[in-house]
Amino acid sequence: MSQNSFKISYPALHAGTNKSLIKFISGTPDLAALFFEGEEAQETRRRFFVTDATVASLECMQSFISKFDDGVCGKDCLLILGSGEPYKTIESVLNIVRAAFDANFTRKDIFIGIGGGVICDLTAFAASIYKRGTSVQFVPTTLLAMVDASIGGKTGCDFENYKNIIGTFFPATKLFYFPEFVQYLPENQYNSGLAEAFKTALLFDKELYDMFKNDADKINSRDSKTLEKIIHKCVKAKGSIVEQDFTEQGIRAYLNLGHTFGHALETVAGLGSITHGAAVAWGIGRAVELAYKKEYCMQAFRDEVFGILKAYKWYTESVPSFVKGGGFSERLITIMRTDKKNLSEKIRLIICKAVTEIQIEEVDEKLIASVLK
């Protein structure tokens, strides 16, 4: 296994959580070796591992899972939750808290989330409230969690069919990236992570944008070297943004490009019905269309972005084909009004004028409706 690492700094909100150590480990993910044989085996604190049923059933996870007998391995414990967005609930958070409490974990111990964005968000949220805060670490296993969800300290769960309504800011202290986990993902989950990476490219990294434009074959075939480069670039870019603006008072809000449209689409579709990334990619298309309608961007840029969205098979139509029933724009706008980023009754959107040229503004609802028909 070859390794390289770097650190991201956060404001010292919580003791011990002001720096994240990021480790990249190439080769087949071997968590038994990582946690029970290497440097991490020297950890003196107890570890409460949380994963989901799908990740627990991956072939590469079997040597790790088999270490636990009825969820217990020496001083450490393992909890396996249901998989996916439908389990991103307050009940799952409480299941983690309850299991850690029943096993007498203290606030000096560590929670370790092994999974996609759902497991990372849930585990970190539970860690942030458990006995007023214990440490959290991640092993992100989806591309989406590697390039986005694991970095930046946002935690939480859904509530009443609304995304991420409950949560905290609580960064992980250590992150272990095995890019090879990406090879196990089904197509739709792989594409979901790519969408967040494409968003990062549009926002901050012209070289990465050009990779998406020119290297679709390599990216679509999950070429390992290309993927490692994408993940590394995204982690660096997001790390640098959260170092500048941890609590999203300014530049961090740019990371929501495509998300106001995307979250609303996820709610309309029913949480878990489409992937987060597919919704975000569609939202990026809508945000670029809106910029074009406002004459903020050239037709050539709009067409190029739509060409890229199509090369990765993301939805580009104003009303995605799977949406049932009428009144789509009205339904979507009603949900967009509840978005956390709005500062007044007006809907605030991230507008992309060109690669790395971004601004935030309140947008007239008639104009928003015009890109949803």
Residue 302, classed as helix, strand or coil, is helix
User: Which residues lie closer than 8 Å to 54 by C-beta, 6 or more apart?
Assistant: 83, 84
Helices (H), 69-110: 90-102
Regarding 88 and contact with ligand NAD (CB under 6 A), the answer is yes
Regarding 154 and contact with ligand NAD (CB under 6 A), the answer is yes
Select the residue whose beta carbon is closest to ligand NAD and give its number: 117
Regarding 276 and contact with ligand NAD (CB under 6 A), the answer is yes
Minimum Å gap between C-beta 280 and ligand NAD is 8
Nearest to 220 by CA among 118, 310, 283, 321: 310
Residue 300, classed as helix, strand or coil, is helix
Minimum Å gap between C-beta 249 and ligand NAD is 16
Residues 198-257 that bind ligand NAD (CB under 6 A): none
Compute CA distances 288 → 138, 207, 256, 299, whole Å: 33, 19, 13, 10
Regarding 54 and contact with ligand NAD (CB under 6 A), the answer is yes
Stretch that binds ligand NAD, among 10-18, 140-148, 229-237, 347-355 (CB under 6 A): 140-148
Phi, psi (5° rounding) for residue 109? -85, 180
d(CA 114, CA 107): 20
Stretch that binds ligand NAD, among 12-20, 117-125, 212-220, 335-343 (CB under 6 A): 117-125
Stretch that binds ligand NAD, among 66-74, 83-91, 218-226, 303-311 (CB under 6 A): 83-91
Identify the residue among 164, 226, 356, 370 touching ligand NAD (CB under 6 A): 164
Which is nearer to ligand NAD, 177 or 181 (by Cβ)? 181
The answer to whether 253 and 65 are in contact (CB under 8 A) is no
Which is nearer to ligand NAD, 97 or 255 (by Cβ)? 255
Which is nearer to ligand NAD, 145 or 235 (by Cβ)? 145
Regarding 148 and contact with ligand NAD (CB under 6 A), the answer is yes
Minimum Å gap between C-beta 27 and ligand NAD is 15
User: Which residues lie closer than 8 Å to 298 by C-beta, 6 or more apart?
Assistant: 354
Regarding 83 and contact with ligand NAD (CB under 6 A), the answer is yes
d(CA 255, CA 258): 9
Measured in residues, the chain has a length of 373
Residue 49, classed as helix, strand or coil, is strand
Binding residues for ligand NAD (CB under 6 A): 52, 54-55, 58, 83-85, 88, 115-119, 121, 141-142, 144-145, 148-149, 152, 154, 163-164, 181, 184-185, 189, 192, 275-276
